[in-house]
Structure 1
Amino acid sequence: MRPYLNIAFFGSSLVSAYWNGAATYYRGIIRALHGRGHAVTFYEPDAYDRQKHRDIEDPPWARVRVYPTGSEDGVMRALDEARGADLIVKASGVGVGDALLEAAVLDMRSPHARVAFWDVDAPATLDRVQHDPTDPFRALIPRYDFIFTYGGGAPVVSAYRALGARVCAPIYNALDPATHHPVPRDLRFGGALSFLGNRLPDREARVEEFFLRPAAAMGDRRFVLGGSGWQDKALPPSVTYAGHVYTRDHNAFNCSPRAVLNISRESMARYGFSPATRVFEAAGAGACLITDAWEGIAQFLEPGIEVLVARNGDEVVEHVCALSADAAARIGRAARRRVLVEHTYEHRAEELERILDVPRHEAHTVTMEAP
């Protein structure tokens, strides 16, 4: 059966979440597109030891092409293979050869092939180009048929439109119910509060405020920190460091503690309307989520009913101290119901089709044939 759209997608990694927070997002969107009859080939560089830390094998719902990074030859061969696709997507933050890819994919535009830039860190991209008028990507923005972002709402859309974007549309993070769902508790991750996130420059100060300071203030309770890069960080005695948490353990990580904490990066917090993948992962697992405050949260979860909101570390302490097991379970169930009804990747795939002006059709499963 012929796929409805043939999509070539250049991103950081589909098969590894190692130093790659966008992996869950890519997988959810692409699996949903496949289920609706589209075929995706995902091109990713062999970089940052991601292939050594795979979370999944090549999936049945996408072709994966891993290209070498020692020279430009590998990416040029990948670009040649992608020619003929109906939609070519260049994601931000591939990590190797980004400037080359951003320009090269535009040479593939034709009456039969549209090109999109998919920004999985729009605040960082916009900060960069707004502060540097000579940034090469700035001049390329008006040439893309579409700019997609995984968050940002009106502020990000307005900023991209001011830079000449023809179409800018947020395709928010969501839940893949087949991947994130309730599981039994795991003692490794049990405690009062857990946080999962890699150590990044624009996140660290907020982690100190919203997680480490409360942990120090509640030294009689157990806190669990997961993610890469924290091994040399001074941590309060109440914090157990779990290291990199593979995707297969995300459900247990979310289901085991009394509550799970979401902390926006500083750049995301400035722009608002950018729920992280962790929000939907936790909600899908039925976890009680405490999140830092950000504009637009009620669009996704109702504060006080489906999520607890904290403006600072003191309010995190208040929530943790007041939270009973029954209340936590009630909030987690309500959050799961909400995201299943309104915020799955199937919903996002439908939205993407509307933006691409893909005619309505009966969804069908595509068999990924060998090239």
Structure 2
Amino acid sequence: MKIAFYGSSLLSSYWNGAATYYRGILRNLALHGHAIRFYEPDAFDRQKHRDIDPPEWAQVTVYPATEEGLRGVLAEAGDADVVVKANGVGVFDAELLDGIVAEAAPHALRIFWDVDAAATLDEMRADPSHPVRRRLADLDLVLTYGGGPPVIRAYEAFGAARCVPIYNALDPTTHFPVPPDPRFACDLAFLGNRLPDREARVEEFFLKAAAALPDRAFLIGGNGWESKAMPANVRHRGHVYTAEHNAFNCTPRAVLNVARDSMAHIGFSPATRVFEAAGAAACLITDQWEGIEMFLTPDVEVLVARDGQDVADHLAGLTAERAAAIGAAARARVLAEHSYDLRAAQVDALLREHAARQAVPA
């Protein structure tokens, strides 16, 4: 099928944590025979911080972040069998959603793909005129990259015809064990941009642990942290490109995952970092959230912390041997159950199911 996908960016992970997810899903969908066209705006300096060149498995159009540029790419939606609007493009989000509904061919499957479902649902509850809430009746399918039963129930209560979580996963061709890199040497590393609904949890789970262990070395990567006051044993690395993620995950004794407020509240929402770290056989410490057992087994494949003191306690007692065993077990689990190959097969089945239903009346 021809898939037209309107998202934030396939080429750059700069202020765009969904890039790894898009790449993993779409690359594997292409292996199922689908023709992928990805449309991303030239915005937020993402094109100056590309991680990859346009891949052979997708045709990428970078359009000016203008009304004229928007009209140009929406005009191409009519040629597709599947038209997807992802949330969080950052410019013309409402217009893009209206546009795919208006421009899609009559037979086309119209999808809203929400990579931040918990936050979107909070916005919809607060605003009856929210663009997504207003357009749900015109969409055939909502896909999310997390949220489990709570998100499914919430979206369907708002009027979605169907909501299906397509969870984050591992692409073993991009995330895998590599030799340590001294640039990332530390006892505990955290990677994530500074965002309003994440900062307080980073303070609790990362900075509080660092303050409790002044003799240990901590490293934080991501945009926006340069102005944040931190303990003396914390180093700030800045933006970490996708090509550096394996070394970032493989080098420290352990790496930390901290969910954003909304995702921690609703559960069932493992970040891409969880699978990237597991794929690199890193020892992962994560904040506690409902549903983690669906993805990794606590104390065997991941260490779970209720607060910063738990993080400090885990790290204080973590030997190199146990860290390696946890990382190896996590890698084996995600390779077997949580690969993008499996996620793409799930999406492919949904697309073919819709196509079969469309063919029945004819």
TM-score, scaled to structure 1: 0.94
Q: Structure 2: how far apart are the matches of 1:136 and 1:349?
A: 27
Structure 2 spans left out of the alignment, 5+ residues: 356-362
Structure 1 spans left out of the alignment, 5+ residues: 361-371
Q: Structure 1: how far apart are the matches of 2:332 and 2:34?
A: 28
Select 1:131's aligned residue among 114, 126, 134: 126
Task: Show the counterpart of 2:335.
Answer: 340
Cα offset, 1:357, TM superposition: 3.3
Asked whether the 8 Å contact 1:84–1:113 carries over to 2, the reply is no
Cα offset, 1:184, TM superposition: 0.3
Asked whether the 8 Å contact 1:273–1:296 carries over to 2, the reply is yes
The within-5 A match list for 1:308-323 is 308-323=303-318
Query: Aligned partner of 2:272: which letter?
Result: T
Task: Show the counterpart of 2:269.
Answer: 274
Give deviations 1:106-150, integer Å, cap 9, x for gaps.
113444211100000011111001011122331211210000000
More helix by share: 2
Cα offset, 1:358, TM superposition: 4.5
Task: Show the counterpart of 2:50.
Answer: 54
Q: Structure 2: how far apart are the matches of 1:359 and 1:98?
A: 25
Q: Structure 1: how far apart are the matches of 2:354 and 2:205?
A: 45
Task: Show the counterpart of 2:293.
Answer: 298
Asked whether the 8 Å contact 1:301–1:307 carries over to 2, the reply is yes
Cα offset, 1:359, TM superposition: 9.4
1:40 aligns with 2:36: yes
SS of corresponding position for 1:140:
helix
Select 2:26's aligned residue among 9, 26, 30: 30
Q: Structure 1: how far apart are the matches of 2:36 and 2:131?
A: 28
Aligned length: 355
List structure 1 runs of 4+ shifted beyond 4 angstroms: none
Say which is worse superposed, 7-16 or 33-42, in terms of deviation: 33-42
Identity %: 61
Cα offset, 1:180, TM superposition: 0.2
Asked whether the 8 Å contact 2:80–2:104 carries over to 1, the reply is no
Asked whether the 8 Å contact 2:180–2:247 carries over to 1, the reply is yes
Cα offset, 1:271, TM superposition: 0.9
Task: Show the counterpart of 2:6.
Answer: 10
1:249 aligns with 2:244: yes
Q: Structure 1: how far apart are the matches of 2:7 and 2:39?
A: 6
Q: Structure 2: how far apart are the matches of 1:185 and 1:99?
A: 44
The within-5 A match list for 1:86-97 is 86-97=81-92
Cα offset, 1:217, TM superposition: 1.1
Task: Show the counterpart of 1:367.
Answer: none
Asked whether the 8 Å contact 1:142–1:163 carries over to 2, the reply is no
Task: Show the counterpart of 1:369.
Answer: none
SS of corresponding position for 2:90:
coil
The within-5 A match list for 1:183-262 is 183-262=178-257
SS of corresponding position for 1:234:
coil
Say which is worse superposed, 102-111 or 216-225, in terms of deviation: 102-111
